[in-house]
C-alpha cells in the first residue's frame, strides 16, 4: 500500500477496519469500523462510526470521560507514530469514553494524559450505530508523523486496518505500521 495522506479539512483520510489483526477477512458484518482522520487548526480530528452490537461491552463510567483500560471494552484505537519512534495511542469507546496514552518506545508508556480534557463528542449518528469524534491538539501529535495503524476490538474480536505479525494480537508494533504524511 502506498503512503497514506491526511489532507486539510474538508478532506480526510478514510479507511475501514474490517479484517482480523492478522489480515484474514472477518466475515461477521457488524464487526467493522469506519474511521476518518483530518486536520483542523486545533489538531488532528479522528472520527469513527460503528454499529451498536447486541452485547456491547461498555465500562460502567459516566459518558465522555477518560477510562483507563478502555481496551478491555468495545473500542476503536488509532496509533500515531513520529519519526523518533514515540507514539500516541488514541482510544474511542462505544459508550462515549476515551483514552489517550503517550509512549517513548514500544510499550514504554511516558504519559497517561490523565488531566487532558479533549474536544470529544459521542453520539448515535444513525439508529443502531455510534459515532465518536476527538481532536488531538497539534502539540500532542508526534512530529513529524510518519506511521499509522488503527484497530477495533468488538466482542473479543481483534481487527486491524493493516495486519500485524505474531501468533496473537499485539498492537504495539509501530515499525510494521503504514507510512503516513500530513499534507501541508
Alpha-carbon span 108 to 106, nearest angstrom: 5
Task: Select from 130, 154, 165 the least CA-distant residue to 28.
Answer: 154
Residue 1 lies in a domain: no
Closest CA to 151 of 15, 1, 7, 56: 15
In this structure, is residue 5 part of a structural domain? no
Note whether residue 2 is domain-resident.
no
pLDDT digits (tens, 9 = 90+) for 55-79: 889 999 998 999 999 999 999 999 9
Residue 21 inside a domain? The answer is yes
With respect to residue 4, please indicate whether it lies within any of the assigned structural domains.
Answer: no
Q: How far apart are CA 160 and CA 110, in angstroms?
A: 24
30: containing domain? 11-182
Ordered mean pLDDT values, 10 residues apiece, the chain (184 residues): 87 96 87 95 96 90 94 97 98 96 98 95 81 97 97 94 96 97 92
CATH of the domain at 61: 2.60.40.1190
| Residue 3 belongs to a domain | no
What pLDDT is stored for residue 125 in this prediction? 62
Amino acid at each position: 500500500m502506498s503512503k497514506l495522506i491526511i489532507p486539510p479539512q474538508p478532506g480526510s483520510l478514510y479507511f475501514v477496519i474490517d479484517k482480523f489483526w492478522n489480515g484474514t477477512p472477518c466475515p461477521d458484518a457488524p464487526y467493522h469500523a469506519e474511521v476518518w482522520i483530518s486536520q483542523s487548526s486545533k489538531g488532528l480530528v479522528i472520527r469513527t462510526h460503528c454499529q451498536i452490537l447486541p452485547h456491547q461491552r461498555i465500562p460502567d463510567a459516566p459518558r465522555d470521560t477518560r477510562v483507563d483500560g478502555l481496551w478491555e471494552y468495545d473500542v476503536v484505537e488509532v496509533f500515531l507514530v513520529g519519526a523518533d519512534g514515540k507514539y500516541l495511542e488514541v482510544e474511542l469507546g462505544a459508550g462515549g469514553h476515551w483514552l489517550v496514552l503517550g509512549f517513548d518506545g514500544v510499550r514504554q508508556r511516558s504519559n497517561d494524559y490523565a488531566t487532558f480534557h479533549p474536544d470529544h463528542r459521542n453520539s448515535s449518528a444513525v439508529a443502531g450505530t455510534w459515532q465518536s469524534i476527538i481532536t488531538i491538539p497539534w502539540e500532542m501529535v508526534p512530529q513529524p508523523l510518519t506511521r499509522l495503524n488503527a484497530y477495533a476490538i468488538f466482542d473479543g474480536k481483534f481487527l486491524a486496518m493493516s495486519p500485524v505479525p505474531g501468533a496473537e494480537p499485539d498492537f504495539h508494533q509501530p515499525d510494521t505500521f503504514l507510512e503516513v504524511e500530513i499534507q501541508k
